[in-house]
Structure 1
Amino acid sequence: MKAPIVEIFSSFQGEGLWIGKRQIFIRFAGCNLNCNYCDTKNSQNVNNGILKSVEEVVKKIKELETPDLHSISFTGGEPLLYFDFINEIISQTDFKIMIETNGTLPDSLSKINNLNCVSLDLKLPEHFNKDWNEEIFNNEILSIKSLIANKKNFYCKIVVSPSTSLATIKELGEKIHKIFPNDKFSIVLQPESPIKQWKNKSNAFFEFSESLGEYFNVFIIPQTHKILNIE
């Protein structure tokens, strides 16, 4: 069994609720979406990956292991395109497992074994030049339902830009709350990088947080790995 891998490296998680944790990142090539803010464009095309076996990946994990290693993060691209491959790696390692996913492949997500954390994107129509559709949102909801039903640790992430309107965030929050009225899970609002573009616009963070805070646990977390100038 092989899968297209762009890179395998050790660094600190720069996003979300596991921020600052030392991880080994396994970045797959290939994605089923084409978000306009994507900061790993080279991972969208499956042809940019090098086919590697499970054994090769496990060997690299062992080579990169450090005393402070917290977990392994499968990212992309979209890692759930290769859920069978991921399960094989999980079966051969003893580390905590994180999946960073766009949330649009709920069936594949439900098949991943021994998950410790899922970072699940909630996409906005503005994240696409033209190909956003309601099916994207519906699949994200199915993924959340599956995670809740299986009692998996997860949080949702929304990338916001200076042009994102309060009305957009408020509408999304209310829409999700109607589906999950009894589940107050966490939502991370991630300001689009670079942070300097938010100069004189940081008041939006307070407005976004207040609009979602009625229903969810809200965090404002930028991409700290870019602030630290690390991969």
Structure 2
Amino acid sequence: MRAPIIEIFSSFQGEGLLIGERQIFVRFAGCNLNCNYCDTNDSKSVQSGKVMTPGEVSKQITKLMTADCKSISFTGGEPSLYPEFISEVSRNFDLNIMLETNGTLPENINLIEKLDMVSLDIKLPEHFDGEFDESIFQNEIKSLNLLIAKSINVYCKVVILPSTKIKSFKEVVEKLSQNISNKSNLKIIIQPSSPLGEWKDINSKLFEFSEVVGQYFEVSTIPQIHKILDIE
């Protein structure tokens, strides 16, 4: 078993509910989407990764272990392209396992044997050049309901761009609310795209986006802290 790996490194989580926590990151190469805001463009192609075995990845993780690190984050690219590989690596460690995913491959996500937390991106029409494929959202819903049914700790991250319109954003949040089987414990993280200097009147816009989500879900607004700290 092999998979293309961009990098394996230790850093602070810069996004979402575990922000500020030390993690070991395993970044896979290859993605099934082509988002226009992606900040890891080099991970989109499988050709950009180094082909490694689960054993080789596990050795690199072991070398990076520190006392303050309690979890491994599998990210990308799109890590759910490699469910068996993730399961194989995870068996070697008594650590919490986090998946950072676009959620569009529910069948693959279901194959991952051990998951403690999932950060699932909800895509907006503005995230793509050209017409938005509605199946993306439908598969994200399937993944969320699957994870909730398995009692896995999952939250949604929604990246907003300076071009994101409140109207389309509200439509997506409403659809999300209507289609989630149990939304009582689901939290939404609004993440303004980096760099923040590209925004005009960001404060007023962020309050407006937060108010929209707050009608249906718990909500927090968190920028990419690792960009502010200038770390990987």
TM-score range, shorter chain: over 0.9
Letter in 2 for 1:123: K
Task: Say if 1:163 and 1:69 are closer, same or farther in 2 by CA, change over 3 A.
Answer: same
Partner of 1:15: 15
Gap regions ≥5 residues in structure 1: none
Matches within 5 A, 1:26-105: 26-105=26-105
Task: Please state whether the residue corresponding to 1:63 is helix, strand or coil.
Answer: helix
RMSD: 1.1
> What is residue 106 of structure 2 aligned with on the other side?
106
| More displaced 10-residue stretch of structure 1: 197-206 or 43-52 | 197-206
Query: Cα 1:43–1:131, aligned 2, differ >3 Å: closer, same or farther?
Result: farther
User: How far 1:131 moved relative to its partner?
Assistant: 5.3
Query: Hey, what's the Cα distance between the residues in 1 that align with 2:99 and 2:43?
Result: 16
Runs of 4+ in 1 over 6 A off after TM superposition: none
Render the CA deviation track for 1:141-191: whole Å, top value 9, x for unaligned: 000110111111010011001221111221111111111375131000100
Partner of 2:174: 174
Cα distance in 2 for partners of 1:178, 1:82 equals 30
1:86 offset after TM fit, Å? Answer: 0.4
State the TM-score, normalized to the length of structure 1. Answer: 0.97
Aligned residue type for 1:78: E
Q: CA deviation at 1:132?
A: 2.6
Do structure 1's residue 187 and structure 2's residue 188 form an aligned pair?
A: yes
Mapped to 1, the partners of 2:181 and 2:171 lie a distance apart of 15
Q: Which runs of 5+ in 2 are unaligned?
A: none
Percent identity between the aligned chains? 56
Cα deviation digits, residues 102-142 of structure 1 (max 9, x gap): 00000111111221100000001110112530110100000
Which amino acid letter does the alignment assign opposite residue 20 of structure 2? G
Aligned length in residues: 231
Q: 1:218 offset after TM fit, Å?
A: 0.5
